[in-house]
Amino acid sequence: MCCRRLHGSNDGAVYVGGNEHVATDDEAVHGVAENKDGAENDPESFSQAMSCKESELWYNAMKDEMSSMKCNNVWDLVELPNGVKAIGSKWVFKTKKDSLGNIERYKARFVAKGFTQKE
């Protein structure tokens, strides 16, 4: 199984896998998104983002996030070592609005579920 090892991690390496699979640069990782501020129109899951009328905008936001992570060398694609379990990952979706409430941008963040990591 392939996974992504976060850059800068040495002996305490953190391996991030997707809920379904590890994403390539052109794929989206299926995951659950959190919506902590109660924004009524932000998708709470990958499925919601891909089935709503703004799906192309959310898809482009996910591509931008993956591109940014690649450009910033956030991870290395590596084989998962024997006996090591990858932590999960998820997408978080958020619309950015101006002071009048008009949507300025669609933002997607790909995050590791660090709360599942053990010391």
What is the pTM for the complete model shown?
A: 0.66
Return the pLDDT at 5. Answer: 63
Return the pLDDT at 59. Answer: 96
Which of 86, 119, 90, 91 shows the shortest CA–CA distance to 6?
86
Return the pLDDT at 92. Answer: 94
Average pLDDT over residues 38-55: 86
Mean pLDDT of the chain: 76
Q: Find the range with the poorest average confidence among 11-15, 18-22, 98-102.
A: 18-22
Stronger pLDDT, 4 or 91, i.e. the higher one? 91
The domain spans of the chain are 2-116
Which of 13, 10, 31 shows the shortest CA–CA distance to 83?
13
**Confidence band, pLDDT 50/70/90 cuts, at residue 119:** low
**What is the three-state SS of 53-98?**
CCHHHHHHHHHHHHHHHHHCCCEEEEECCCCCCCECEEEEEEEEEC
> Is the distance from CB of 108 to CB of 62 less than 8 angstroms?
yes
* Strand-pair partners of 89: 112
pLDDT tens track for 57-100: 999 999 999 999 989 988 888 888 898 888 888 899 999 999 99
C-alpha to C-alpha distance for 119 and 109, rounded to whole angstroms: 25
What letter does residue 112 receive in the DSSP assignment? Answer: E
Give the CA-trace dihedral at 35, 37, 38, 42, to 10 degrees.
-50
**Confidence band, pLDDT 50/70/90 cuts, at residue 38:** very low
